[in-house]
Structure 1
Amino acid sequence: MNLPIVPIASLADLMAALSGPGPRTLELQTSVPCPFSITLPPGFALTGKGKDGCLLVFGNGDGIGLTAGNRVAHLTVVATPSARAIYTQTGFADMGRIALEDLDVTGQVSIITRSGTDKLDLLVDKLHIAACDARRYSEQPQKYGVNVYQGALTVYNFNGDANSTIRATLTGISMGAKNAPVLGSGIFVSGFGDQGGWVEIDKLTTGAVHSCGMLPYGTADIITAGVFVVYGAKAKRVEHFGEVVTYGVNDMVLDTWGTVEEWIAHAPVVSWGPSGIGFVNFGTVERFVAEREIVTHGLGARGFNQYDGTVKDIRFKSIETFGDGSIGIQVSKPVGTITVDEGITTHGSVGNTLVKGVNMQLPAEAFSVKPCGVVEKLVVQGDLVTHGAKVTTYAVEGGKVGAVDIRGRVLAHGQDANAVLVAAKGSTPLTNVRASAAAGKALVVDDGEVTDRTGWSG
């Protein structure tokens, strides 16, 4: 639909056009400072002749309020980082199609639907959020002993009705910069819960995402993520074309409590803070692929954790962790095939880490299967290596691994470290694998023929 275009060259022009007849497209010709928030009436569009010369700057409070059937495009929108630069004002049962295209933003982009709103079709394309502080907003998902901070981009169905749905296509999203992250989560997509209030994502693609939750060390009941697909969210495809990096305490990099059919990271996945996890899954993922390395730095910062739900097929290029308690892969629920194209290396001993809202001590094992954890098949093309004292490189402790194909070596370089520990009935024993420990036991198998063989090599 081609709307009549109204040129906007001043604040007076903007206010007059917003109160005039519609729907219409308001096109900024230059930069406009605005001392208060504005609301786009239903059907109105707000565009610019180009992002470089057309800035809409909000000096106090929030920015652009959306109602129904709105479009905002080709603009730079600047609010204070702790304010909402673009946000929804709900109340319509059907909000129609809202489109946000080709935008540079300072402040939060907040798309939240509430009770009374049952339908929204959302398109976000080519959005960069330079700075945002999303920590103050009270609508936060709660599960597994933690709350989740909202993100610089927040898409949240806060209507618990089972018939309420946001349908979203989110492409070309980026935020923050190296060593200059947005605060809170980065990209946050959530439904109301597991029983209703859905967000259905056709596609979510990102460029570089840099985020930091700014949580104090020792916090156990709040988490954030660079990209978080929360409960009630169902995504067909999630894809990252730029690095996803988190910097703070409990800052997951990629996290889901929802459902993702295919998830592909074409660029590095990196965390720098304590208890950050490269990829953590509490939901259901059909296929996950990390084509580049997953690297974590910090106490208790792990590479991959399977806590709940399942992932059917998962592949990593490589995983490397730096820090006490920083496990490479830990599985606590049944999963399908795990493939590592290169290897897993950890640099750490026993240390503090966050597990389901509780801080606890864990060793920095390369591969760990806990009680209730099942891995149908593990394939590692390279080596499993640990460098910490009192850790086990390959540890199956109460869980089960159905089939194992490790084509490299299993090495434990730390003092009193074990290369292999299998203390579970039904797990496939390691064969045709060279395992060695600098000190301690190289192989300990409780449910097999071998109980202890220092310096073992198969």
Structure 2
Amino acid sequence: MEDLKSIILNNLTITGMVQLLTRGKNKTLTVKINGLDIISADARNYSERPMKYGVNVYQGALTIYNFSPKNDSEIKVYAENISLGRRYAPVIGSGVFISGFNDESGKVTIEKLITNDIYSNGMIPTGQPNLITGAIFIVYGAYAKEIISSGSVTTYGTNDMVLDVWGVVDRWITKKKITSYGSSGIGFVNFGKVKSFKAEDVIETYGLGARGFNQYDGTIENAYFKGIKTIGDGSIGMQFSKPVGKITIQEDGVVTEGSTGETLVKGVIKVLNADAINILEGGSIEELNILGNLVTNGEEVVTYHVNGGLVKKLNLRGKILSKNDKSKKVVIENNGQTDMSDISEYIN
């Protein structure tokens, strides 16, 4: 059938994966969900996996996937009251996985997505460079008008992204804590285009190379973070390698505990330093507002590191602190540029 009409899921408690996948001649489908609690699921054993940036992605406990390559095919999604897994008993694979066929065809339009507590673990072996998951993953071809993460969002495994965007998001608000416990995890990683993101609670990552926020591709226009804390070698607080707009870090600031360590970057294991903020060549920030402190505790790291990037406007209301004698507070190198008005006294 070309038009699959509507699929409506209301007040369901489920053991096992919920997968809505269109392909072939399917062109249109409307999905409406109000109340879906998936107690346990394993979503790893499906061959349809998005691939980009050197990695493949496992499907999720809740998977909505337009696998039709037709340009005029579309799934519309209205979903709220979504709960996945339990604390210390996460679903396996990704959590909420919504994807189109690719960037150009097989679209998914998310009118509304509201989640409760989400717990996931990809169960990916440590050192595996080309496989990832996401607790909430907006993959390519997906356009989300509004996402509200009302509950906590937690991942436990290696290469597990907590929040990941390859598509387009107009507005995303997280109400509770965002937590990653696995190596090479990231609290929020953006490869797509995000207009507005607001984290009303802190982002915390635990593990080797587990970063707080990364902007690796695409852009974000306006992002607000209550605070970011990483505990692990190679675990950067915030890293930018593409142009972004306004970034605001509230009173909890950015704190890193680690020093140098390995982590996964675009399908390649690299060695990174656990800087608090790191702006690479190609990365630029229109306005960076830091209302709390920037703090590093490990050795041979930099608290505020402009490594070839650009910060056009900087508002620093907290302090830049380095707790280790072998580390530096501010380093500007490789033709990097930054607004100096608030940081001149901190330059080593």
Structure 2-normalised TM-score? 0.98
What is aligned with 1:147? 56
Shift of 1:390: 0.2
Residues 306, 338 of structure 2: 8 Å contact kept: no
Question: Aligned letter for 1:170?
Answer: A
Following superposition, the deviation at residue 406 of structure 1 comes to 1.0
Is the 2:273–2:300 contact (alpha carbons within 8 Å) kept by the matching residues of 1? yes
- Counterpart AA for 1:374: S
The amino acid across from 2:108 in the alignment is V
Q: Which moved more, 1:414-423 or 1:247-256?
A: 414-423
Q: In the alignment, what sits opposite 2:192?
A: 283
1:238 match: 147
* 1:7-406 to 2 correspondences below 5 Å: 92-342=1-251, 343-406=253-316
Distance 1:347 1:111 in 2: 41
Partner of 1:428: 338
Partner amino acid for 2:76?
Answer: R
Larger-Rg structure: 1
Q: How far, CA to CA, are the matches of 1:428 and 1:221 in structure 2?
A: 34
Q: Distance in 1 between matches of 2:209 and 2:321?
A: 21
Q: Considering Cα pairs closer than 8 Å and 6+ residues apart, tell me whether 1 or 2 has the greater RCO.
A: 2
Q: Distance in 1 between matches of 2:140 and 2:303?
A: 33
* Distance change >3 Å, CA 156–CA 237, structure 1 → 2: same
**Partner secondary structure for residue 86 of structure 2:** coil
Shift of 1:432: 3.6
The aligned length equals 347
Report if the CA contact (8 A) 1:371-1:399 is conserved: yes
Alpha-carbon distance in structure 2 between the residues aligned to 1:112 and 1:159: 9
Q: CA deviation at 1:320?
A: 0.4
Offset of 1:426 from its aligned partner?
6.8
Amino acid of the residue matched to residue 95 of structure 1? L
Indicate if the aligned counterparts of 1:388 and 1:415 stay in contact, CA closer than 8 A.
Answer: no
Does the 8 A contact of 1:201 with 1:234 survive in 2? yes
Does structure 2 retain, via aligned residues, the 8 Å contact 1:243–1:268? yes
Tell me the secondary structure at the aligned position of residue 337 of structure 2: coil
Deviation at 1:271, TM superposition (A): 0.3
Work out the CA distance in 2 between the residues paired with 1:242 and 1:432: 36
C-alpha deviation, 1:424, in angstroms = 5.3
Superposed CA deviations along residues 353-372 of structure 1, whole A, max 9, x for unmatched, are: 11000011000000000010
Judge conservation of contact 1:409–1:434 (CA < 8 Å) in 2. Answer: no
**What SS class does the counterpart of residue 388 from structure 1 fall into?**
coil
Deviations 1:296-332 (A, max 9, x none): 0000000000000000000000000000000110000
For 1:125 and 1:282, locate their aligned partners in 2 and report how far apart those are by CA, in whole Å: 29
Note the residue ranges of structure 1 that are not aligned, 5 or more in a row: 1-91, 436-441, 444-452, 454-458
| Residue identity matched to 2:318 | G
* SS at structure 2 position matched to 1:299: coil
Task: Give, in angstroms, the shift of residue 422 of structure 1.
Answer: 1.2
Instruction: Determine the C-alpha separation between the residues in 2 that align with 1:302 and 1:356.
Output: 14
Deviation at 1:434, TM superposition (A): 8.1
RMSD over aligned CA atoms reads 1.1
Give, in whole Å, the separation in 1 of the partners of 2:135 and 2:37: 14
Tell me, in whole angstroms, the C-alpha distance in 2 between the residues paired with 1:295 and 1:195.
Answer: 34
* Deviation of 1:429 (Å): 3.7
| Offset at residue 413 of structure 1 (A) | 1.3
Contact 2:308–2:336, Cα closer than 8 Å, also in 1: no
After superposition, what is the alpha-carbon deviation per residue over 1:247-296, rounded to whole angstroms, capped at 9, x for unaligned?
Answer: 00000000010000000001110000001100000000000000000000
2:13 is aligned with what amino acid? D
> Normalized against structure 1, the TM-score is what?
0.75
CA deviations on 1:141-180 (whole Å, 9 max, x unpaired) are 0000000000000000000111000011111101101111
Distance 1:426 1:412 in 2: 21
Structure 1 residue 425, shift from structure 2 partner: 4.4
